[in-house]
Structure 1
């Protein structure tokens, strides 16, 4: 039964993992997004404390 021979499948698995671990990550990390978020307003509003009576 040839499907029990691990020799060709082991090499295919090693080459696939090398592709996944070495070649693909730099390509994914080099991707730039077209719509980078930018801050709309750098001024922060001062929040006021509540004036409710707590009793």
Structure 2
């Protein structure tokens, strides 16, 4: 049964993980999100209580 021979499949597995762990993350991290988050000011917003009409 040649499919049980680990020789070529182990090498394919190692090269695949090498690509997944080195090349693909660098390509993904180079993209910039079009909606960059804006920094939020440190001041608290003043909230007012709302009186119920009943």
The residue that corresponds to 2:8 in the other structure is 8
TM superposition score normalised by structure 2: 0.67
Cα distance, 1:26–1:46 mapped onto 2, change above 3 Å = same
What's the Cα RMSD here?
2.5
TM superposition score normalised by structure 1: 0.66
The alpha carbon displacement at 1:49 in A equals 3.7
Residues matched between the structures, number: 50
The residue that corresponds to 1:19 in the other structure is 19
What is the CA–CA distance in structure 2 between the aligned matches of 1:5 and 1:45, rounded to whole Å? 67
Matches within 5 A, 1:1-55: 1-38=1-38, 45-49=45-49
What is the CA–CA distance in structure 1 between the aligned matches of 2:14 and 2:45, rounded to whole Å? 56
Gaps of 5+ in 2: none
